[in-house]
Amino acid sequence: MIPLNHRVLGDILDPRQARAHHGSVVRTGARAAVLADQLERGGLTSSPRPPAPRLSHLDDDSAELVVGLYRELGGANEQPTLRPGAWDLCAGGTVIELDEELHFNRYRAATLEGEWAAALPWCDDYRELCGVREPECLRAATWGKRWANPSSDRLFGGSSPPGDLDGGLGASRWKQRALYDAFKDVVALTTDLRLARLSVWDDVGGRTLGEMLEGRAEVDPAEVVALVVRRAV
């Protein structure tokens, strides 16, 4: 999520949406902090995150794969500028991405259809989640810069009106997020970086990871660490 200052928020959102956006920023940071604490308690000590990935970090075939995914999502720029954000966490030598509600939709599913993606430990789970959890993504991301922003519109040629996924251009920010997630997946498969993806929908001790991260369920930290180990590649 790209943080916005209050002045910009006031320009693009009504007061209720601005409050919701501010709450979502706090919520995202709080979830990540709780996850880091749980991993520490489970024996995975936090460590510095690697640099954010860039096409120049990849070999030619891997970079071509990422650009191919961009084209499949509707991107038409001859030489797209792709700049994924920082990795979420790093603990015990494993980079960990925490995927919240906005990460599960038809565009993310499209990035996981290729044969290359089958090697990802989270591939099957994420394909299923993209099919059943898009309504939650839609409720959370149909306004402001969660639907589209200047960067994502430049990459994908614009966006449809908020909420319109079935005709026209769709949501450029959703596409950008899906592409950048897939970019990081490719990095994990083609470099020495070790990555685990966790979803707020993952089952951990009979409750969802999201419930645990929001303080609505108690989970043994060892079970969270075990999920990281299962998902690491």
**Per-residue pLDDT, 48:** 95
Asked whether the beta carbons of 190 and 91 are under 8 A apart, the reply is: no
**Per-residue pLDDT, 141:** 96
pTM (2 d.p.) = 0.88
**Per-residue pLDDT, 121:** 98
Domain segments of the chain: what residues? 6-231
Asked whether the beta carbons of 71 and 77 are under 8 A apart, the reply is: no
**Per-residue pLDDT, 28:** 74
Query: CB-based contacts of 153: which residues, under 8 Å, 6+ apart?
Result: 159, 172
Q: Mind giving me the DSSP string for 61-123?
A: HHHHHHHHHHHHTT---SS--------SEEETTEEEEEE-GGG-SHHHHHHT-SGGGGGSTTH
**Per-residue pLDDT, 198:** 98
**Rounded CA separation 199/212 (Å):** 12
Q: pLDDT averaged over consecutive 10-residue blocks of the chain (233 residues)?
A: 28 38 58 96 96 97 98 95 96 97 98 98 98 97 95 97 94 98 98 98 97 95 98 98
Q: Which amino acid is present at 4?
A: L
Residue 95 is encoded by which pair of tokens? 């980079």
Query: CB-based contacts of 85: which residues, under 8 Å, 6+ apart?
Result: 52, 180
**Per-residue pLDDT, 16:** 40
**Per-residue pLDDT, 3:** 29
